Chain A
Amino acid sequence: MIPPVAAAGKARGPLPGFIAGVFAWLPVTFVAWYFAAPVLTWPAALIVELVAKTAFADLVQSIEQVRAVLTFATTLKPGSSSTQGAVITVDVDLMLYSFGLPLYAALVLAAKEPGWVRRLVLGYAVLMPFVAWGALADFLKNVAITLGPQIASQTGFVAWQRDAIAFAYQFGALILPTVVPAVAWVLTHRGFLERLKVPPDPG
């Protein structure tokens, strides 16, 4: 027999405690992410470099990471005679695409499932390619659209490719940074979801 208060808690299931836990953990994980971002985003920077030098070798000379900012040195010219020899550089802030990390960490820690370290590592590995997606799409959007027709014409992208870049950028900026952590959490916490579905005890 359990006391009525505990019984009421069980009837509500694990959700209220989980939500309170997420709100308790979020400030902690956000602060940790802010200070550790240069290190945490390093694998994403590696992925960006690998993809850029493989698929866009004609556009990208080098990529440097300073703190959480990637600087793409391109092969594109500014176009003015007074700037001969100069090339276009594009800065991309990886923090804009990696703020799902503290969200995912808060969700994992609040769920209090066994093996939380493994779940954290797994989710981190899953998130990195999507952070790289956002950064790469941001760079491509800059050179193919934002910097104007003089730069865009040097990239060789045709209309449908610019449309695809715009979609990839919007999807990578507005949807993926928050959806991927939530999906990763659902996938790594299927047992938690099953317990959530247990109906309240009638008596």
Chain B
Amino acid sequence: MIRFFITFIVLQAVLFGAELTPWAQQYFVGPWTNALAAVSAWLVTVIDPNVAATGKVIRSTVTGFAVSIEAGCNGIEATIVLVAAIFAFPASWGDRIKGFAAGVIAVQGLNIVRVISLFYLGQWSMQVFEWAHLYVWQALIMLDVLVVWLVWVRLLPRDGGNGPRPGGPPEGSRAPAPVSA
């Protein structure tokens, strides 16, 4: 457990530090955020043609209301947390990569829902927008990360790890699994 948490914290700090470097901002974070805005705007145009994306900004061509996707709203930090949790956990590399791929889809998919919902909430009520933006969606995205990680842990083969499970008793001392029949 201690090894898991130390690895988790170190990985998170290193990845987050790397994300803040000018190089990562220019070649990864910026393009990623622009792509997120473009995909979100493209999805919205299915039901609302009066929406356009310019860079990281999504704008209503009718009301002029716009949202800019800033740090913390592009899903990169949530993905960093998930990556750190998956790669710090004792599992095979194959399982880690599968978890990583599914996790990125889950986190970024929900993040697109967040961006689109905030775009419309802002046009309806700025008070509700602020609440959803600053508190509710932050919590929901982290809940998404936690649930994806828990599901991944549950789906891991019992002998797939290369070390002790967090919180688990030493190998050989584990009580037999309860049966439901």
The verdict on A7 contacting B165 (CB below 8 Å), with A103-B143, A197-B154 known, is no
Do the beta carbons of B139 and A26 come within 8 Å of each other?
yes
How many pairs of residues, A versus B, come closer than 8 Å at their CB atoms?
Answer: 99
Do the beta carbons of A167 and B17 come within 8 Å of each other?
yes
Q: B29-37, B42-50, B110-118, B173-181: which one contacts chain A?
A: B173-181
Question: Residues of B contacting A181 with CB < 8 Å?
Answer: 142
Contact of A199 among B20, B77, B138, B158 (CB under 8 A): B158
Do the beta carbons of B77 and A175 come within 8 Å of each other?
yes
Q: From residue 68 to 127 of chain B, which have CB atoms closer than 8 A to chain A?
A: 71-72, 77, 80-81
A1 on interface, CB distance cutoff 8 Å: yes
Do the beta carbons of B165 and A174 come within 8 Å of each other?
no
The verdict on A30 contacting B136 (CB below 8 Å), with A103-B142, A170-B20, A174-B72 known, is yes
Question: Residues of A contacting B153 with CB < 8 Å?
Answer: 193, 196-197
The verdict on A198 contacting B165 (CB below 8 Å), with A177-B138, A193-B153 known, is no
Do the beta carbons of B179 and A174 come within 8 Å of each other?
no
Name A's interface SS. helix
Question: For residue B5, which residue of chain A has the nearest CB?
Answer: A183
The verdict on A13 contacting B167 (CB below 8 Å), with A30-B136, A103-B142 known, is no
Question: Residues of A contacting B145 with CB < 8 Å?
Answer: 182
Q: Mark A177-199, 1 if CB is under 8 A from B, else 0.
A: 11101110111001101101111
Do the beta carbons of A167 and B168 come within 8 Å of each other?
no
- How distant is A21 from chain B, measured CB to nearest CB, in Å? 12
The verdict on A190 contacting B139 (CB below 8 Å), with A175-B81, A196-B153 known, is no
Contact of A175 among B16, B139, B165 (CB under 8 A): B16
Do the beta carbons of A99 and B77 come within 8 Å of each other?
no
Do the beta carbons of A179 and B158 come within 8 Å of each other?
no
- How distant is B82 from chain A, measured CB to nearest CB, in Å? 10
Tell me the count of chain B residues lying within 8 A, CB to CB, of chain A. Answer: 39
B39 on interface, CB distance cutoff 8 Å: no
Question: Residues of B contacting A19 with CB < 8 Å?
Answer: 147
Name B's interface SS. helix
The verdict on A175 contacting B12 (CB below 8 Å), with A1-B181, A95-B135 known, is yes
Question: Residues of A contacting B13 with CB < 8 Å?
Answer: 171
Do the beta carbons of A197 and B139 come within 8 Å of each other?
no
CA distance A198 to B155 in the complex (A): 10
Question: Residues of A contacting B139 with CB < 8 Å?
Answer: 26, 30, 99-100, 102-103, 178
Question: Residues of A contacting B77 with CB < 8 Å?
Answer: 174-175
CA distance A22 to B41 in the complex (A): 30
CA distance A150 to B13 in the complex (A): 31
CA distance A22 to B150 in the complex (A): 14
- How distant is B166 from chain A, measured CB to nearest CB, in Å? 7
Given contacts A6-B180, A177-B138, A194-B168, 14 further A-B contacts (CB under 8 A): A30-B136, A95-B135, A103-B143, A166-B20, A175-B77, A175-B80, A186-B166, A190-B166, A193-B167, A194-B165, A196-B150, A197-B156, A197-B158, A197-B165
Instruction: Pull 30 A–B residue pairs with CB atoms less than 8 Å apart, ordered by A.
Output: A2-B181, A15-B151, A15-B154, A22-B143, A30-B135, A30-B139, A99-B134, A100-B139, A102-B139, A107-B146, A174-B71, A174-B72, A175-B12, A175-B16, A175-B80, A175-B81, A178-B139, A179-B142, A182-B81, A183-B8, A186-B166, A190-B167, A193-B166, A194-B167, A194-B168, A196-B150, A197-B156, A198-B178, A199-B177, A201-B180
